[in-house]
Amino acid sequence: MHPSRRIGLGLAMLAGTAWGVHADELSVAVAANFTAPMRQITAEFEKDTGHKVVASFGSTGKFYAQIKNGAPFQVLLAADDETPTRLIKENAAVTGSQFTYAIGKLVLWSAKPGVVDGTGEVLKKGGFDHIALADPKLAAYGTAAVEAMKALGVYASLQPKIVTAENISQAYQFVSSGNSQLGFVALSQVRKDGKMEGSAWQVPANLYTPIRQDVVVLENGKGKPAAEALLKFLQADKAKAIIKSFGYELP
C-alpha cells in the first residue's frame, strides 16, 4: 500500500474512533405539543453533532412522576416553566441548566371548516356535544384552556361537555377523529406551512397564563456532552427557525 494511503486510512480510523467516543445516545422527554418541531430539530441535531436522540412524547405531569420514580431521561423539554424549577429544587435536575426554549399558543380548533369562528363565539353559542382538552392536572395547555374558559365566563356551562385527554396529542386526536367537534390544542399541531387546517381561533394571550416552555438537564444527564450539545442547539438559529415556523414565540 502506498504510504500516503496508509496515512489517510490511519487518519480515517482515528477520526472514526474519536467520533465514536464523542457521539452519545440521549434520552429526552418532550412535551406532547412539541412533537412535530422536535422531530425536525432532532434530525438536524443528529446530522450536525453525531449524537443520537431517543425522544419520548407525553404530558409534562406524567414525565414529572416518571422522573421522580427513576425514569432514565437525561433532558426534559417541558410544556411549562414550573416543572423544571420544581425538579431543580428537588435535586432531580441540574441548577443553571433551565431556560425557556419556546412560548406556546393555545388554539380552539375543529377539524371541520366553519365550526369555529374567528372570535370564539362558538363557546357561548354552543351547538356542539363535546369539547376536548388536555388534562389540566397534567398538561399546561389544559390549564390554559380552563383559564381561558373561566375568563370568558363559559366554563361552568361547558363543563358537562368537556372530554379530558391524557395530553395535548390525545386532545388533537379526539378532535381530528370527530369524536369531539372542537377542542383546545396547541397552535403547532394545526398550523401547517403557515396555514390552519379546519377552522380555528387563536385564543388571545391575555386570557391565560403565558405558556413558557422550559428545558432542563436532569440528574441522569449531568455532565453528558450530548445533553449540553442539545441545549446549545436549541438556542441556535437553526432550531429557533424551526420553532418559529410552528407558531411558537421565542423568549
pLDDT tens figures, 200-239: 999 999 999 999 999 999 999 999 999 999 999 999 999 9
Query: Using alpha carbons only, what angle is made at residue 128 by residues 126 and 130, rounded to the nearest 5 degrees?
Result: 120
The boundaries of the domain holding residue 119 are: 106-202
Mean pLDDT of the chain: 91
Gap between the Cα atoms of 18 and 129, Å rounded:
60
Could you give the angle at which helices 35-49 and 225-234 cross, rounded to 10 degrees? 120
For residues 30 and 95, state if they share a domain: yes
Gap between the Cα atoms of 226 and 221, Å rounded:
8
For residues 135 and 215, state if they share a domain: no
For residues 95 and 110, state if they share a domain: no
For residues 15 and 70, state if they share a domain: yes
For residues 78 and 135, state if they share a domain: no
- What tens digit of pLDDT does each residue of 155-170 get? 999 999 999 999 999 9
User: Residue 140 in contact with residue 214, Cβ under 8 Å?
Assistant: no
Share of the chain above pLDDT 70, in %: 90
For residues 88 and 11, state if they share a domain: yes
For residues 81 and 13, state if they share a domain: yes
For residues 74 and 114, state if they share a domain: no
CATH code for the domain of 93:
3.40.190.10
CA dist 49 to 16, 23, 25, 121, 226, Å? 14, 8, 11, 48, 8
Question: Is position 185 within any domain?
Answer: yes
Backbone angles phi, psi at 18, to 5 degrees: -60, -40
For residues 83 and 117, state if they share a domain: no
For residues 195 and 120, state if they share a domain: yes
* Confidence tier at 1 by pLDDT (50, 70, 90): low
Question: Is position 227 within any domain?
Answer: yes
Structure-model confidence comparison of residues 20 and 182, the more confident one: 182
* Confidence tier at 246 by pLDDT (50, 70, 90): very high
Poorest-pLDDT segment among 7-21, 53-67, 72-86, 175-189: 7-21
Question: Is position 250 within any domain?
Answer: no
- What tens digit of pLDDT does each residue of 85-139 get? 999 999 999 999 999 999 999 999 999 999 999 999 999 999 999 999 999 999 9
Take residue 194 and report the three cell numbers written for it: 403557515
Question: Is position 70 within any domain?
Answer: yes
* Confidence tier at 193 by pLDDT (50, 70, 90): low
pTM for this model (two decimals): 0.86
Question: Is position 251 within any domain?
Answer: no
Domains in the chain, number? 2
Q: What value does the mean pLDDT take over residues 160-184?
A: 96
For residues 220 and 128, state if they share a domain: no
For residues 128 and 189, state if they share a domain: yes
